Amino acid sequence: MKYIDLRSDTVTAPTDKMREVMFKAVVGDDVYDDDPTMKELEAFAAKLVNKEAAIFVPSGTFGNQLSLFTHCNRGDEVILGEDCHIVMHEVGASSVIAGVQLRTLRSNKGELNPENIKSKIRSGEDDIHFPSTGLICLENAHSNGRVIPLSNMREIYTIAKENNIPVHLDGARLFNAASYLNIDVKELTRNCDSVMFCLSKGLCAPVGSILAGTNDFIKKAKKKRKLMGGGLRQAGFLAAAGLVALKDMRENLTNDHENALFLGTELSKIPGIKVRQDDIHINMVFFSIKDTPLKSDVIVSALLEKGIKINGEEDGEMRFVTNYWVKKEDVMYVVKCLKDLL
């Protein structure tokens, strides 16, 4: 049975072209720096985001945590939003791997106040009681589906440079953000020292993310990646799919965004469903069902019988995520099934 899967864009399967190039990929031992396809991917990815070098990692969480591990000393403090992915959905890895302290700030739907960041910067050299601020982390597109304004990123980056603190960008859906803003992705990445972005999710590669930064940063990160178990040997099979993702799939993200807007509009017409319509910047639709007669677990089970996969509530909201394999007719079918059910 073919399912319509709205649980996340992480569920995307590779395209036929990806499968073909993976089958034919020329590979070598990447730990020995002998994999030509991986080297091609990393060079292309670095150039795409205007960084000196890049390194392939197994996942977005791996890339974010490798960045913290590389930028920071143990006991450093990392400034970031209270609702960002590193805090909410990375299993507390920063305390285990990098041994850092997270100083979380209140955000306005993912957007951080630059002056608030400035007031929280600390130096262990000034007072023996203080940790040093080792890193500032931003996220764009945010995991709540919103895109952070470029002006906000610029202001924060300026403050960071004035205080000699690096900035890491969690850009898991970086190209979604660039598509929404209708800008070259380099305009986003000029406001950070390192950036992680996923090859999977909306770009459909089966495995992998990229961490990019300076040559010195990536050299340090490569050794720490090995420590974390991320040396993947003949990884060119995965790199081949990653190259297709970056070269061919970025333009499709606009369709995902349009389908999400259409989905949000249609869901909002169903009595009892309240959609955060103004927050649909990319391919995510958040909505509440508390004023409907059914609980989320009932809806999950009933839609599964109709060939639709969704997740239940988290923090009182449902989330539907469109992707390359979800077409407009699929969206219409989902809305019809939900209407019938309610």
DSSP for 79-145?
EEETTSHHHHSSTTHHHHTT--EEEEE--BTTBPPHHHHHHH---TTT-TTPPPEEEEEEESS-TTS
Residue spans in the chain of domains classed CATH 3.40.640.10: 15-248
CB 269 within 8 A of CB 67: no
Q: In sequence order, what are the beta bridge partners of 55?
A: 211
Domain 15-248 sits in CATH at: 3.40.640.10
Tens digit of each residue's pLDDT (9 = 90 or more) over 101-112: 999 999 999 999
Residues of the chain with pLDDT below 70 are none
Please report which helix (H) or strand (E) contains residue 58, including its range. none
Task: From 284, 285, 286, 303, select the one nearest 341 (Cα to Cα).
Answer: 303
In the three-class reduction of DSSP (H, G, I as helix; E, B as strand; rest coil), residue 255 is classed as: helix
Q: What is the pLDDT of residue 1?
A: 73
> Could you say which architecture CATH assigns to the domain 252-341?
Alpha-Beta Complex (3.90)
DSSP for 261-325?
HHHHHHHTTSTT-EE-GGG-SSSEEEEE-TTSSS-HHHHHHHHHHTTEE----BTTBEEEE--TT
Tens digit of each residue's pLDDT (9 = 90 or more) over 174-224: 999 999 999 999 999 999 999 999 999 999 999 999 999 999 999 999 999
Q: What is the pLDDT of residue 30?
A: 97
Q: What is the pLDDT of residue 126?
A: 77
Q: In sequence order, what are the beta bridge partners of 19?
A: none
Residue spans in the chain of domains classed CATH 3.90.1150.10: 252-341
CA distance 63 to 65: 6
Q: What is the pLDDT of residue 214?
A: 98
CB 48 within 8 A of CB 189: no
CB 334 within 8 A of CB 307: no
CB 66 within 8 A of CB 98: no
In terms of phi and psi (left: phi > 0; alpha: psi -120 to 50; beta: otherwise), the region of 39 is alpha
Q: What is the pLDDT of residue 158?
A: 98
Q: What is the pLDDT of residue 4?
A: 98
Task: From 289, 292, 293, select the one nearest 275 (Cα to Cα).
Answer: 289
CA distance 233 to 243: 18
